[in-house]
Amino acid sequence: MPKDKRTPLEQSIDPAAQEMLIRADEIGVSTAFSRADAMVPCNIGAAGMCCKLCGMGPCRLTKEGQTGVCGATIDTIQARNFVRAVAAGSAAHSDHGRDMAFTLKAVAEGKTEGYMIRDVAKLRTVAAYYNIPVEGRSPTEIANDLADLYIAQFGQQRGYIAPVIRAPEKRQKIWQEQGVIPRGIDREVVESLHRTHIGDDQDPEHLLQHTIRTALADGWGGSMIATDISDILFGTPAPILGQANLGVLKQDMVNVVVHGHEPTLSEMIVAASQDPEIIEYAKQAGAKGVNLAGICCTANEILMRQGIPAAGNFLHQELSILTGAVEAMVVDVQCIMQALVKLAENFHTLVITTSPKVKIKGATHIEFDEHHALTIAKQILRTAIDNFKNRGPVQIPNARENLIPGFSHEYINYMLGGSYRASFRPLNDAIMTGRIRGVAAIVGCNNPRSTQDYLHTYVVKELLKQDVLVVQTGCGAIASAKLGLLLGEAGLDQVGPGLREICEAVGIPPVLHMGSCVDNTRILTVLTQMVEDGGLGDDIDQIPAVGLAPEWMSEKALSIGAYCVASGAYVIFGGSSPVSGMPDRMSDSDAVLHYLTEGWEKIYGGKLEFDVDPDSMIQKTLEHIDRKRAALGLPAYDPERFGRSGDARILELEQLPLAERRAALYGVTEK
Ligand code: NFS
C-alpha cells in the first residue's frame, strides 16, 4: 500500500462510493482512487512544461531561460500543449455531433431501424434559424436538409460555420474582428495539429488565438449540433423524476449499465429493454426483468429524456462493477477507463464495447450501427441476460436519491412564462432586482486527485446560500443529484432568501440540471436569450454569471472552458492548471497563464483561471457577479431586502391575535 493512500472517507464524500472502496480493498483490487494515490503526478508535465512533439526531445524545461532543442520557449511549449488539448476535446465533442448528424440523415432517408423524429417543433425551430423552408414540408424533408447542412459544417473549408448566427450580434462582431469564427469544424482541429507540429506556429498569443477558434468549433459547432439533433430525435428534455447513485442497481434484475456519451445506442437499449420478448427472456433466466442504469454523460442523456436512473458519475464506473451486480457494462465513446476490463475479471461483468472507434483488449465487441439499431440493442441485452446465471456475491449500497432533471432551454422558457408568454423576463427581472444575485454554471468531471464530489457540492451549496442560481451539466450534475440537491422543496431550506422567493414562485429547484456535457451549449443559448430579453446588457460578458469546473480532468473540459471564455464568461477550473509553470520560477513561465486571464479578458470579456481552493473559487465568483451587477447599474446585492417565503396570506394572519386569526381563517367568532 502506498504510504499516503487516502482512506475511503478522504477519497469520496459519497457513502455509496466509500462502501465500494472498502470492498475494493477487501477484494484486493485497484480503482482510479487507489491508483491516483499510488501514481505521483509528474509536476513538469502537469504544468505544461514538457514538450514531446518531436523526436529530438522530450524536452523538459525546468531551469530559468531554458529552451527545447529546437529553441522553443516555455511559453510556446505551454501554448502548444494547451491548444492540442483543446483540439482533442473539440474533436471528441464534435465527432459525437457528426455521428448525430449522420443518424439524422439516415432517419430522414428512412434507412434506420427504431429511430423517429420525436420533436418536430424543435426540428422546425432549428431549421428556421438557417432559413431552411419549413412551411408545407414534411418532417423528413426538413430533417434531410438540416442533416445535410449540419454534415457540411464539419468539412466546410471557407466562410463561417452556421450555428454562430445564434450568438448575440455584438459577440459575433468581436469574433469576426478577431478572426476566430470557425470556418469548418474539422478544419480548425486539423489546423491546431498542424500549427503545433515541429517548426510551425511559435508565437504563444497566436497559438492561443487559434485555441479560441478551435474551441468555438466545439461550443457553437459540434456540441450545439449534437444537442439539437439529440432533442429532435429523442425529444427535448422536460422535468421528469429520476434517481441517482449505485442503489439504483437491483438485486433481482439483470443490471445493464450504459456508459459513455452518444444517446443513439443508449436510447435504443432503453427501447429494447421494454420489449416484451426481452422481458420474457430475462424472466426465463430467473430475473424479474432488465434494469438499466447510466454512467457519465450517457446517464444524463437517458435520465433527462426517459427518467432512466443514473448509477453515478465518472468515478462510479469502476464502483458499479464492484457491486458484483452488473451483468454488462455497455460503452461507446469517451471517459471509459481501460481498467474496467481487468476489474471485471474479478466478477462476472461483461464489458461490451460498441463503437467502431473504441475497442479495449479483453472486452466483448458488439459493433453498433444505426441502420440496425434495435436488433443490435436486443442482441446486447440478450448477451447480458445470458450472463445473469454467472453472478457471484452481490453488494449493492443502499444509497439512491431522487432528482428532477430536464431543464432544457425550451423548458425554462415555458416554465418562466407558460406557452403564451414564454420568455426569460422573470429570470432577468429577478437578477435585476437582486433576488437572484447571479447565475453559476457548475459543470465538468470528477477527478480522483480530489475527494469525489466534495468540490462540486461544496461550491454549489455555498453559492446557493448567496442567492446564486445554479445550472449544472455532466458529472457535476450527478454529484449534486446524489446529494439530493436537484429537488425542489428538498433544497430550498439551503438557499438564500431571494433565490428562495423565485424558486417558490416559479416552482423550480435552485439547481437546474441541463444535461450532458455537449448540452453546455444550452447554457450558451440561454445566456444569449437573457441578453436578447433585455436589462442585462447587450452581450454575454455583461451578465452576472460565472462558469466553474471544480473537479475537471478531461480535455473536453478545457475546450468547454475556452469556448465559454470566448463567449464572454469568467471560467474557474479547480485542480491543477495545465499552464501553471513551476511555482518557484513563475517569472519565467507565467506569460501563458496571464494571457488566459488578462489577455483574453481584454478581447472577449471572459477569462480562464485555475484555483485549487474552493473558498477562493466562491469568493471570486461572488466578486465577479457583484462587479457585473455594478457595471450594469443594478442595485447592490442585499439579502435583507428579500425572503418572503411561504403563503403570504397565512404569514400575514400569523401576525394577528389568535381570535382574529381564527375568525379570518375559519369564520369562527369567539364569544
Ligand atoms: Ni464531460 Fe461527459 Fe464526466 Fe468529464 Fe467525462 S462524462 S463529456 S468529460 S468525466 S463531465
Strands, E, within 516-633: which ranges? 545-549, 570-573, 607-610
Residue 380 shares a structural domain with residue 459:
no
Helices (H), 493-532: 497-506, 520-532
Q: Are strands 59-60 and 364-365 parallel, antiparallel or unpaired?
A: unpaired
Residue 331 shares a structural domain with residue 454:
no
Residue 413 shares a structural domain with residue 500:
yes
How confident is the model over 574-602, as a mean pLDDT? 79
Residue 301 Cα to ligand 1 midpoint, Å, equals 12
Residue 441 Cα to ligand 1 midpoint, Å, equals 15
* The three three-digit cell numbers of residue 620, written as one number: 471570486
Of the candidates 189, 216, 234, which is a domain's last residue?
234
The DSSP output letter for 668 is: P
Residue 554 Cα to ligand 1 midpoint, Å, equals 7
**CATH number of residue 99's parent domain:** 1.20.1270.30
Residues contacting residue 583 through CB under 8 Å, at least 6 positions apart = none
What confidence score (pLDDT) does residue 580 get?
82
Q: What is the mean pLDDT of the chain?
A: 93
* The three three-digit cell numbers of residue 622, written as one number: 461572488
Question: What is the percentage of the chain residues whose pLDDT exceeds 70?
Answer: 95
Residue 313 Cα to ligand 1 midpoint, Å, equals 8
* The three three-digit cell numbers of residue 405, written as one number: 432533471
Residue 252 shares a structural domain with residue 374:
yes
Residue 437 shares a structural domain with residue 561:
yes
**Residue whose C-alpha is closest to residue 435's, from 639, 236, 232:** 639
Atom number of ligand 1 nearest to Cα 92: 7
By 3-state DSSP, what share of the chain in percent is helix, strand and coil, each rounded to 5? 55, 10, 35
User: 426: cis peptide before it, omega within 30°?
Assistant: no
Q: Is 418 exposed, middle or buried (0-12, 13-18, 19+ CB in 10 A)?
A: exposed
Inform me whether the pLDDT recorded for 496 exceeds 80: yes
Pairwise pLDDT comparison (604 vs 501), residue with the higher score: 604
Among protein residues, the one with the nearest Cα to ligand 1's atom 9 is 445
Q: What is the pLDDT of residues 41-92, one digit of tens each?
A: 888 888 889 999 999 989 999 888 899 999 999 999 999 999 999 999 999 9
Residues 472 and 516: their CA atoms lie apart, in Å, by: 9
How confident is the model over 357-380, as a mean pLDDT? 96
pLDDT-derived band at 1 (thresholds 50, 70, 90) equals very low
477 CB near ligand 1 (under 6 Å) = no
Among protein residues, the one with the nearest Cα to ligand 1's atom 1 is 517
Atom number of ligand 1 nearest to Cα 335: 5
The DSSP output letter for 12 is: B
By most ligand atoms within 8 Å of CB, the mutation choice from 259, 295, 302, 334 for ligand 1 is: 334
Atom number of ligand 1 nearest to Cα 444: 10
Residues 465 and 454: their CA atoms lie apart, in Å, by: 17
**Residue whose C-alpha is closest to residue 551's, from 468, 449, 462, 480:** 449
Contact criterion met (CB below 8 Å) for 244 and 403: yes
Q: What is the pLDDT of residues 82-137, one digit of tens each?
A: 999 999 999 999 999 999 999 999 999 999 998 999 999 999 999 999 999 999 99
Position 667 in a domain = no
Residue 271 shares a structural domain with residue 158:
no
How confident is the model over 568-594, as a mean pLDDT? 79
Residue 368 shares a structural domain with residue 296:
yes
Distance, C-alpha 608 to centroid of its chain: 17
* The three three-digit cell numbers of residue 97, written as one number: 455531433
537 CB near ligand 1 (under 6 Å) = no
Residue 445 Cα to ligand 1 midpoint, Å, equals 5
Of the candidates 390, 421, 441, which is a domain's last residue?
390
Position 598 in a domain = no
Q: Given the C-alpha cell 479547480, which residue does it identify?
A: 574
Residue 548 shares a structural domain with residue 625:
yes
Inform me whether the pLDDT recorded for 586 exceeds 70: no
Q: Cα Rg for the chain, rounded, in angstroms? A: 25
pLDDT-derived band at 165 (thresholds 50, 70, 90) equals very high
Of the candidates 184, 204, 234, which is a domain's last residue?
234
444 CB near ligand 1 (under 6 Å) = yes
**CATH number of residue 266's parent domain:** 3.40.50.2030
What are the angstrom distances between the C-alpha of 185 and each of 152, 222, 263?
Answer: 9, 7, 21
Give phi and psi for 407, each to the nearest 5: -90, 80
Residue 352 shares a structural domain with residue 471:
no
475 CB near ligand 1 (under 6 Å) = yes
Residue 553 Cα to ligand 1 midpoint, Å, equals 8
Residue 558 Cα to ligand 1 midpoint, Å, equals 11
Position 658 in a domain = no
554 CB near ligand 1 (under 6 Å) = yes
Contact criterion met (CB below 8 Å) for 547 and 505: no
Contact criterion met (CB below 8 Å) for 329 and 259: yes
Inform me whether the pLDDT recorded for 248 exceeds 80: yes
Residues 210 and 189: their CA atoms lie apart, in Å, by: 9
Give phi and psi for 542, each to the nearest 5: -90, -15
* The three three-digit cell numbers of residue 215, written as one number: 474551441
Q: Given the C-alpha cell 455594478, which residue does it identify?
A: 630
Among protein residues, the one with the nearest Cα to ligand 1's atom 7 is 517
Position 558 in a domain = yes
560 CB near ligand 1 (under 6 Å) = no
Among protein residues, the one with the nearest Cα to ligand 1's atom 5 is 335
**Residue whose C-alpha is closest to residue 377's, from 470, 268, 230, 256:** 268
Domain limits at 499? 404-575+612-640
Residue 428 shares a structural domain with residue 571:
yes
How confident is the model over 541-565, as a mean pLDDT? 97
**Residue whose C-alpha is closest to residue 339's, from 355, 356, 317:** 317
Residues 620 and 573: their CA atoms lie apart, in Å, by: 12
How confident is the model over 177-204, as a mean pLDDT? 98
Contact criterion met (CB below 8 Å) for 532 and 422: no
Lowest mean pLDDT among 10-19, 201-210, 601-610, 638-647: 638-647
Helical (H) or strand (E) element with 35: helix 32-38
Which strands form 310-312's sheet, in the order they lie side by side? 364-365, 350-353, 326-331, 254-259, 290-295, 310-312, 242-244, 401-403
Residue 249 shares a structural domain with residue 230:
no
How confident is the model over 543-559, as a mean pLDDT? 97
257 CB near ligand 1 (under 6 Å) = no
Contact criterion met (CB below 8 Å) for 618 and 632: no
Position 570 in a domain = yes
Residues 309 and 302: their CA atoms lie apart, in Å, by: 8
Residues 575 and 129: their CA atoms lie apart, in Å, by: 39
Q: What is the pLDDT of residues 404-421, one digit of tens each?
A: 999 999 999 998 887 777
Q: What is the pLDDT of residues 483-492, one digit of tens each?
A: 988 987 666 7
When divided into structural domains, the chain yields a total of 4
**Residue whose C-alpha is closest to residue 608's, from 556, 553, 547:** 547
Residue 420 Cα to ligand 1 midpoint, Å, equals 36
